[in-house]
Structure 1
Amino acid sequence: MDAFRALKSRNFRLFFYGQSVSLIGTWMQKTAVCWLVYRLTNSAVLLGVVSFVSLIPSLLLSPYAGSYIDRHNRYRILMITQIISMLQAGVLALMILLRYYNIPGIIFLSLVQGVINAFDVTCRQSLMVEMVEKREDLPNAIALNSTMANFARIAGPALAGIILSTFGEDICFVSNFLSYVPVLISLWMMKIVLPPVLRSDQSIWAELKEGFHYIAGDKDLSSLLLMLSASSLFVIPFNTLMPVFAKDIFNGDAKTFSWFESAAGLGSIASAIYMAKLKPGKDLVKILVTASLIFSLSVLLLSLSGWLPLALVFMALSGVGMMAQTSSINTYIQTHAIPTMRARAISYYIMAFQGIIPVGSLLTGLLAHFIGPRLTVFVAGLAGAVATVVFVYYRKKLRIQHYEIQGDNRAGVAA
């Protein structure tokens, strides 16, 4: 089928299947950590802190990670990050099995995972172009990767909800530890041929500066990254408050919380399938604008919902919007960045996406403490709508400037 054409590439197929299992385990653990922290503390602020420390390394380390990965063997780095991730998951599982419910310990291990992810996610994204045999299949591979991630976002919380309410937190954490086994096997089975790594005479800091100037000098790339940064700061962190919505606003339990996560995942996977079926040449910026409006308005309406089924519908729509927004930006960057700058360009995408979210999560937790969760989520949706309008206005100005320059060039040639 055309929607699954990237799976014809053996390396990507192995990667896809291995990661599918691992990501389900990751979402099970993520759901269990959020629920455990809120169950033990009843603190929206601490929920924000846990999200903050797990993602803030992406903001601080992603540009460095991009430059580092450009200088080294990406496949080897990916193997190392997956092994370390498995060890981190094992320590966390052991803590929970021993009933050592130590919030600072959980926060510290979340920080360790965040540092690993700063390298791991950038490495995985930049390696994808080497996994597919045909370059024209790259957008499809990116969309399938997003589909996989969002299927895990449905299955992981759904399984976690059942396990949390039936067996307790232990099984969720142990399952995540074991889920790394298929990943390591699939990576070991790959036969990936990478181009030789060119050793640069420049220092890594000079390359960091070079990457920044490349992004800043490309108005198309920089405008998309600024839009993603605004969404990551103001809108995406609304999800931090879903345990509060589930437990306090809708008087639910862990299973109710898993419904919110699964609803968002269901919307995301529907959106990812749409992105996977896109024909080459589609206007990704137009898709981005539409998706951003759907995302912002659904979050705004979620804040006003008083009926659980309706709230879950808006949660699903938020997944549709967020998935299409982030996937369109990711695809645009991977297909438009020059090869020598691809890892660095992707690292700025990771920074704008995962790196800004923790700052937003912390602000969201603090704001909810002072003005309440409903009003905080309403503000998030409103801010997203405003950011989309500003982005459209800026892109329109860029287009006018482009036409004016073209007109001046033609006039000069005619003269």
Structure 2
Amino acid sequence: MRTYPAPLRVLLDTQFGVFLAGNGLSLIGTWMQRIACSWLIWDWTHSAFWLGILSAGDLLPSVVVGPFAGVAADRWDRLRQNMLAQAVSAVLAALTAVLLATGHLGLVGMVLLITAQGTLSAAIQPARLAMVQQMVARADMGTAVALNSVSVNLTRLLGPAVAGAMILHMDVVWIFVANAAVTAAFVLILARLRLAPHARGGRGHGLFGEMAEGVVHILRVRPLRLILLAMLCGGAMVRAMIELIPAIAAGKFVNDATGLAVLSGAAAFGAVASGLTAGRGRTAHLLQDVLLWWGLGAVAAIVLTWSQGPVPAVAAAVAIGFAITRGLVSTQTFVQLTTPDALRGRVLSMHGLIARGSPALGALVIGFAADRIGLARAVEVSSVALIVLCVALVPQARSVSASVEEAA
């Protein structure tokens, strides 16, 4: 290996760099499509509750599919699973474009197609995350997670910006066509990868028995249990803000589409800055760090919804993106470094279930409440509840830190 700094070494001397480039290209298309779907739903209904329904369709399938996907990630070839899921995803994006262009796609049809896409994403999430350790050395795991976060959030910056421009100047159907094309390109990139073998999970306990092993491991390891609880609450009460941005933008900007792109881009900018400035950190301290970042994110969420005008809203969106990303990077790094390889897919499936399901559930509940008591008031209640919870968990986080060994 050449003597590069860790980020350059991971990008240039491992297959992770190729994977990251292809995944980033695909995610730009994914974010373009998500923004297009949110825009269409808001344009059709002007309801925060329906935005929550769309988010639930996209993210909640992980609750059902995630545990099965975790077993699959530990049993079978993770790369082949990724290739198959991405190929089907490209077909679904193309089908959405055709139905929209021919006038056969309505509100229910849109939610159903997004639910199918969300099911695919949930099915492949554990395998996609678990195969990172098949591309990089253990010592570089934190760097790889941070780089992946930077890539994901750069796509969150680029995708909404491109989608916003296309919504203003082109037929929205072309966004779905573009997503189908870049997803198909990612399949070709995945076909070039050759990953190191991974320890396969045992098959002696049956499908549900193997699922139970992952759950039992989480329940048995107290630090892991606490950090996933923090992510569950943070996702429901802070990450949900990202799903409600169309409703927030409508009250801050003269042009809804411009506001949607600006606030989405601002959150992505904060996320990128967070990923680029994230240090490796001591594994034992990650739980306390996570509580701090979710608490700060809750404060920023209150500022975002109560702010008057676009400038403070943009600043709050940057802060939310920064806090969310730092919390998620720390959580995933902790899970990757403290979980045995034979269990990693199943534990990451629970991680993915929480990561995808919590913001959808939060958006649904907050959106329902917002249609009745106002968005700002609904966010204030949920954010204050999260701050109180984070403060309450700090003593437990401190008490378990001593039991977490530094990764070798």
TM-score (norm. length: structure 2): 0.93
> Residue 82 of structure 1 is aligned with which of 70, 79, 86?
86
> 1:399 deviation in Å?
5.9
- Contact 2:230–2:290, Cα closer than 8 Å, also in 1: no
CA distance in 1, matches of 2:355, 2:114: 18
Deviations 1:177-228 (A, max 9, x none): 1111331121111122324746522201011111111110000000000111
- 1:409 maps to what in 2? none
> SS in structure 2 opposite 1:251?
coil
Specify the alignment match of 1:203 in structure 2.
Answer: 206
Return the offset for 1:313: 0.4
State the alpha-carbon separation in 1 of the partners of residues 330 and 118 from structure 2. Answer: 24
Q: Is the 1:32–1:172 contact (alpha carbons within 8 Å) kept by the matching residues of 2?
A: yes
Alignment of 1:386-401 (within 5 A): 386-398=388-400
Taking a change above 3 Å as real, the CA distance of residues 394 and 193 of structure 1, as seen in their structure-2 partners, is: closer
Q: Give the counterpart of 2:48 among 44, 51, 55.
A: 44
DSSP 3-state at the match of 2:330: helix
Select 2:104's aligned residue among 76, 85, 100.
100
Q: Does residue 186 of the first structure (1) align with residue 180 of the second (2)?
A: no
- 1:219 counterpart letter in structure 2: R
What does 1:138-287 correspond to in 2, within 5 Å? 138-195=141-198, 197=200, 200-275=203-278, 277-278=279-280, 283-287=285-289
Instruction: Describe the shift of the 1:201–1:388 C-alpha distance in structure 2 as closer, same or farther (beyond 3 A).
Output: same
Say whether the 8 Å CA contact 1:45–1:369 is kept in structure 2: yes
Question: Is the CA contact 1:240–1:364 (under 8 Å) kept in the aligned structure 2?
Answer: no
Whole-Å Cα distance in 1 between the matches of residues 215 and 379 of structure 2?
Answer: 33
1:342 aligns with 2:344: yes
Once residues 248 and 201 of structure 2 are traced to their aligned partners in structure 1, the CA distance between those partners, rounded to angstroms, is 51
Report the alpha carbon displacement of residue 92 of structure 1 after superposing the two structures with TM: 1.0
CA contact 1:241–1:373 (8 Å) conserved in 2: no
Residue 126 of structure 1 aligns with an amino acid whose one-letter code is A
Q: CA deviation at 1:249?
A: 4.5
Question: Gapped runs of 5+ residues in structure 2?
Answer: none
Mapped to 2, the partners of 1:149 and 1:385 lie a distance apart of 26
Return the match for 2:76 from 72, 93, 107: 72
The one of 354, 362, 365 equivalent to 2:364 is: 362
Contact 1:4 1:144 in 2 (8 A): no
The correspondence for 1:316, drawn from 304, 315, 318, is: 318
Q: Which residue in the other structure is 1:412 paired with?
A: none
Separation in 2 of the partners of 1:179 and 1:391? 42
- 1:374 Cα deviation after fit: 1.5
Post-superposition offset of 1:287: 2.6
Where does the alignment leave 5 or more consecutive residues of structure 1 unmatched?
404-415
| Deviation by residue 1:45-81 (Cα, 9 ceiling, x = unmatched) | 1111010111111122212210122111111111111
Tell whether the 8 Å contact from 1:4 to 1:140 is kept in structure 2 after alignment: no
Separation in 1, partners of 2:50, 2:295: 30
Structure 1 counterpart of 2:9, from 5, 10, 16: 5
Which SS does the other structure have where 2:191 is aligned?
helix
Name the structure 1 match of 2:114: 110
Aligned length: 400
Amino acid at match of 2:53: V
Change (3 A) 1:195 1:329: closer
Q: Which runs of 4+ in 1 moved over 6 A?
A: none
The separation in 1 between residues aligned to 2:127 and 2:385, in whole angstroms, is 32
What letter is aligned with 2:350?
Y
CA contact (8 A) 1:45 1:362 kept: yes
3-state SS of paired residue (1:179) = helix
- Matches of 1:191 and 1:365, distance apart in 2: 44
Report deviation, 1:41: 1.3
Give the Cα–Cα distance (whole angstroms) in 1 for the partners of residues 214 and 281 of structure 2: 30
C-alpha contact (below 8 Å) 1:60/1:355 kept by paired residues: no
Question: Aligned to 1:189, what secondary structure does the other structure show?
Answer: coil
Partner of 1:31: 35
Q: TM-score, normalised by structure 1?
A: 0.92
Alpha carbons of 1:329 and 1:279: their partners in 2 closer, same or farther (altered >3 Å)?
Answer: closer
- The SS at the match of 2:244 is helix
Which structure: larger Rg?
1
C-alpha change, 1:236 and 1:383, in structure 2 (3 Å) is farther
What SS is found at the alignment partner of 1:30? helix
Question: Quick one: distance in 1 between partners of 2:246 and 2:146?
Answer: 29
Distance in 2 between the 1:214 and 1:196 partners?
A: 17
Amino acid at match of 1:355: G
- Paired position in structure 1 for 2:129: 125
Q: Percent identity?
A: 26
Counterpart in the other structure of 1:306: 308
Q: Rate the CA distance shift 1:130–1:30 in 2: closer, same or farther, 3 A.
A: same
Distance 1:358 1:28 in 2: 18
**1:339 alignment partner AA:** D
Cα distance change on mapping 1:380 and 1:198 into 2, 3 Å: closer
**Residue 234 of structure 1: SS of its match in structure 2?**
helix
